[in-house]
Chain A
Amino acid sequence: MQFRQTAAVVGTFIAGTLALGLVAKNSSATIDQNADPRIAAQPRYDYDDPSKSFVVDLDFGATSATTVGATVVPQRSYSHLGDPPLLLISLKNSKGAVLTTFNSWDPRWTFDETPSHGERMIMRPGRGTVVASFNGAAATMLVRDQQSGTDLGTVDLRPAVHSFCVAHPDDAECVEADLAVTSTQASAPPLGLVGKGVTVTVDATVANLGPDGPVDAVVNQTVTASAGTTVTPASATNDVHALAKGSSSTVRNSYSVSCDTPGQKTVTFTTSVAPAEANVVDAVATNNSKSTTVSIDCAVPITLNVKPGSARNPVSLNEQAIPMAALTTRAGEYGNPLAFDAALIDPASVRIGTRDSVVAGRGVPEVHGKVHMEDSLEMDETTHDGDLDGVLHADGRRIPVQRSTTELCVRGTFGQTHTTFFGCDHIEVVP
């Protein structure tokens, strides 16, 4: 330092100034860092920074904040590093778990210059923006006023995330997975009874056809049914976790289908699959849903009295003409929801057998090919109620009645609409 060396020998004449000049400086660490421009790195632009941000506009009132809009922007958010504890912003996932929290300036806080060039802070409600670093798992943003201790509002971030990922499927925090419903199958008994429900089981297989995975999926099933039926539940939702690329998973749902009116009914189950998280994009929509339909013949339940006159209903193994009466009943009689007139039975439609075989449309016809109309004994086995019942006969050998058989059923149609009827009675197989 030649100059000050020179100054130093000036001597007493400038001793005072010299002393000042030689005081060691309070050096800054910051500009001393990288003090050699030959080796200090030259700055590079960070335009390749993959960071993204949530930008949320809200209308801030005194005690609330209403969402105006939310978007995801492919640029980094400022860090909020220094922001004071005015607002507390919480990002939560779809399960409500907090992913991250940070302090933020309250947009209502406004610093105004005073006439004397000072400053004052006033609260001024109005439009404000909250920005946050992107988190692909974020579903909601909770905005809390830490000063008052109140939650101002919750912002649904999922549409913004999804819109962004649809527009930027190659983004590192977006996942692309072709979810598909590959099969769906419903199993139901072909015969139902008015006033009673049958259980329908629906199996649906969903698959992740890639290219990314695993992903969580949500399977939704909706039901449409013919008039005169009630399906419970009307829809079902299943979560499928971690569906790997190239793998599939089958979900099963059961429904109770109740026949409210007799006749042929159809029930259609439509299964659809969608990503559970908003950052997963399924670009192939055509395979996201599939339907299956079942038909159920809603039959009129009737009262069948096997072996009228006997409460035991003994049936021998080789009995060739087992008598049984399809009772003509009023609505409500024996608990039957609908009236039944045995005289309207189509004899050719009659099939008799075990429950399973008859429900399945098998069974044997009436031995004589007709319905014998007579005032048969009622279920108390002693009463003739005065109306004409339909007496039928079944060849027990053809059914066949076996030692394990405990019940015989009859099915057929009646009336001009060929409505199905169905009824059963117990038997006791005897030697």
Chain B
Amino acid sequence: MRRALYFVMPCCVVVATIGQTVSAPPALASSLVTLKVVIERVDEQGCTDNLSGSDFYGEIEIAGEKTDFGVIDGEDTITPNWTAQKQFDVDAVSSAPVIIRIAESDGGFNFGDDACDITRNAGTDLDLTVNLVPCNVTGDTSGPCATSLFTGGSGDGDGDADVNFRVDVIAPAAAPGLNLRCTHSPLWPQPGQNVTITLEAFDGNVRVGDTQTDTSSGAAPPLVDHTKIVDHLEIWVGSQSAPAIDTANKTKTTFTVNNVAAGDLVYGCRIKDDNTIFSGWRRTRVGPPASGKGVPVIYLGDRAHNVDIVFIPDTDSYSGTNDPNFLSDAADVIKGAYYGEDYFLKNQPNINFWLADQTGDADSVPAPTPADPNNKNCVLTLPANWATDYMWRDSGAVLHRDSFRDCANSGVFSSEPTSLGTVLHETGHSPFGLADEYCCDGGYFENSPNPDLWDTLAECQSDATALGRPTTDCRTITDSRPTPPKNWYTSEPTPNDLMNGDRRPPQAADIRRMDWFFGNCAAGKC
């Protein structure tokens, strides 16, 4: 016989919650944890009608969400394992209130239902506070999570019951690895503005397109949440003695520098967990650059030791360098591409980002050919001072909002802000010097040392072994443009590769080449 709990208010709520468990999270969001409460055992200690055994029923309320459990008739001791759970975003809350209620159902001869006293304190309900991470229980009774806790009534004659229960906080599946993303907004602060620094913790499997929408291959693949709860998230601002903020047991934290002064904002982000990782100190220019023309918005070190990427505002899309849309788009490219792919994210201490002080122009212009009268060519017009003020750049990107087929030439490429995979692919070309790995009309060359493409099968096979691959992985790319056609060979997979159709992720040969490049940068040869 199911009866409405005496302590339940609206019946519709009861109906909605009775017998339910918390549904699975919509995505494997790593900042989401599940708080689970289990009533393991109820033992009558006076909370009974003394006729035919106790008729217990119960309710668990987690952060206002109630779950009711039906009557178990005629047993003074029950082990119902009544379970309720609720999901929490630990980035939003640190603890949750839990109330356990037990009642004994009386029939018409027994003057109605009785609320069992299950707390030594005043009242009958067990009021708890559960700290989510790390998990522990305080309130009417205290104890650790993931173990059976005991509570009983106060013995003041209102009908006691003993209850064994347990509380668990269940972490989502955590992929291996640890990475961090340390960014600030606005990308180019001006004196007097407030600058928000954001630190996010990720697992080690972030792929371009997972954290920001990537339209480089047409339809954007779904986002994938790689955030990860870590012990400490620290944002350091200027001072090297202590972090400006230290947030525990979350996936993300922010710190805002109000009314930022002209000059440089220096900050860095650190995560302490199984491992400790640090983004590296970076310098962000506030206001005009101290020297030169380029605006250093994320500056990790001198240009001889770092890769330098310069973003150029397209004159058709932005009014200039300080156009908020340009700053937002450039920040998105940094976040979604360079800070959206695990390999580049790990190498963030080695990459500087700059803004060009003048606009460029990326356009699609008619270039009819006999074979295609409607042919259009992408034409890049670089800022007038590009050759003389930016010859130090390793790669340049003309960002634009209008849609056309992009192009790349001499270390400069055009891109829409959402073509994140393209950004990294072109970065693979320049500065890293990776060849294309798609067939059959790409840019092919054997670029020693550590090439991703070979001009003989024997070299590819030998290299495949060095990469831990079977020699049969070597595949042929035939470039049919020269006469006679020329064969090239790679052991890299297809199409899932930085330099292939899907543009992600960087594979072994790509990584080896880029590692070699960064190693040379570390030696000041960059």
Q: Please list the residues of chain A having a beta carbon within 8 angstroms of any beta carbon in chain B.
A: 1-7, 9-11, 13-14, 16-18, 20-21, 23-28, 30-47, 49, 51, 53, 55, 57, 71, 73, 75-79, 81-86, 103, 105, 107, 109-121, 124, 128-129, 131
Residue of B nearest to A3 (CB): B133
A-binding segment of B49-57, B149-157, B341-349: B341-349
Cβ of B309 to closest chain A Cβ, rounded Å: 11
Give Cα A47 to B283, complex, Å. Answer: 14
In the complex, the answer to whether A112 meets B168 with C-beta atoms within 8 Å is no
Chain A nearest CB from B377 CB (Å) reads 7
Cβ A128 vs Cβ B346 within 8 A: no
Given A2-B231, A43-B281, A78-B393, is A21 in contact with B171 using a C-beta cutoff of 8 Å? yes
Residues of chain A within 8 A (CB-CB) of B174 are 17, 20-21
Interface size on B, residues (CB 8 A): 108
Measured CB to CB, the residues of B under 8 A from A are: 133-135, 144-147, 168-180, 203-204, 216-218, 229, 231, 234, 236, 240-241, 243, 249, 266, 268, 270, 273-283, 290-292, 296, 299-304, 308, 345-350, 377-378, 387-389, 391-394, 405-411, 413, 422, 425-426, 429-433, 435-436, 438, 441-448, 501, 513, 517-518, 520-521, 525-526
Give chain A residues whose Cβ lies under 8 Å from the Cβ of B299: 43, 45
Identify A105's interface contact among B145, B236, B410, CB under 8 A.
B410
Cβ-defined partner of A83 (8 Å) among B300, B348, B433, B446: B433
A53 to B390: give the CA distance in the assembly, Å: 11
- Tell me whether A36 and B146 are in contact (CB under 8 A): no
B410 touches A35 (CB 8 A): no
Q: Are B172 and A31 in contact (CB under 8 A)?
A: no
Chain A residue nearest to B282 (CB atoms) is A43
Complex Cα–Cα for A368 and B500 (A) = 112
- Pick 24 A–B contacts, CB within 8 A, sort by A: A3-B231, A10-B169, A30-B347, A30-B350, A30-B518, A31-B349, A32-B275, A32-B276, A34-B280, A35-B270, A35-B277, A37-B240, A37-B281, A43-B280, A46-B302, A47-B291, A76-B392, A77-B391, A84-B447, A111-B407, A112-B377, A114-B405, A124-B377, A131-B387
Contacts of A46 in B (CB 8 A): 302-304
Answer whether A75 and B302 are a contact pair too, CB < 8 Å, given A1-B231, A40-B280, A82-B431.
no
The number of inter-chain residue pairs (CB within 8 angstroms) is 269
* Contacting pair B281 A42 (CB below 8 A): yes
Shortest Cβ-Cβ A-B pairs, 6 listed: A28-B346, A82-B433, A46-B302, A21-B174, A2-B134, A121-B443
Q: State how many angstroms separate the Cβ of B151 from the closest Cβ of chain A.
A: 20
* Nearest CB of B to A16, in Å: 8
A39, B236: Cα distance in complex, Å = 12
CB neighbours (8 Å) of A4 from chain B are 171
| Contact, CB under 8 Å: A84 / B277 | no
CB distance from B181 to the nearest CB of A (A): 10
Q: Which residue of A lies closest to B518 (CB)?
A: A30
Most-contacted residue by chain A among B147, B409, B444, B521 (CB, 10 A): B409
Q: Is the interface of B mostly helix, strand, loop or mixed?
A: loop
Known: A20-B173, A28-B346. 12 other contacts (CB 8 A): A6-B145, A10-B146, A27-B178, A27-B275, A35-B276, A39-B240, A45-B290, A76-B391, A109-B443, A113-B407, A119-B442, A129-B410
In the complex with contacts A6-B146, A82-B432, A107-B409, A55-B387 CB distance below 8 A: yes
Q: Which residue of B lies closest to A28 (CB)?
A: B346
Contact B405 A112, beta carbon cutoff 8 Å: yes
B33 to A: closest C-beta gap in Å:
9
Residues A43 and B240 in contact in the complex (CB < 8 Å), given A6-B146, A81-B525: no
Pairwise interchain contact A31-B241, C-beta atoms closer than 8 A: no
- Among B408, B431, B447, the residue within 8 A (CB) of A110 is B408
Give Cα distance in the complex from A113 to B421, angstroms.
Answer: 13
Query: For residue A78, which residues in chain B have a CB less than 8 angstroms away from its CB?
Result: 308, 391-394, 411, 431
**Does B176 contact A3, Cβ atoms closer than 8 Å?**
no
Q: Contact between A1 and B274 (Cβ–Cβ < 8 Å)?
A: yes
CA distance A390 to B234 in the complex (A): 118
Q: How far is the CA of A49 from the CA of B513 in the complex (A)?
A: 27
Partner of B283, one of A34, A43, A84: A43
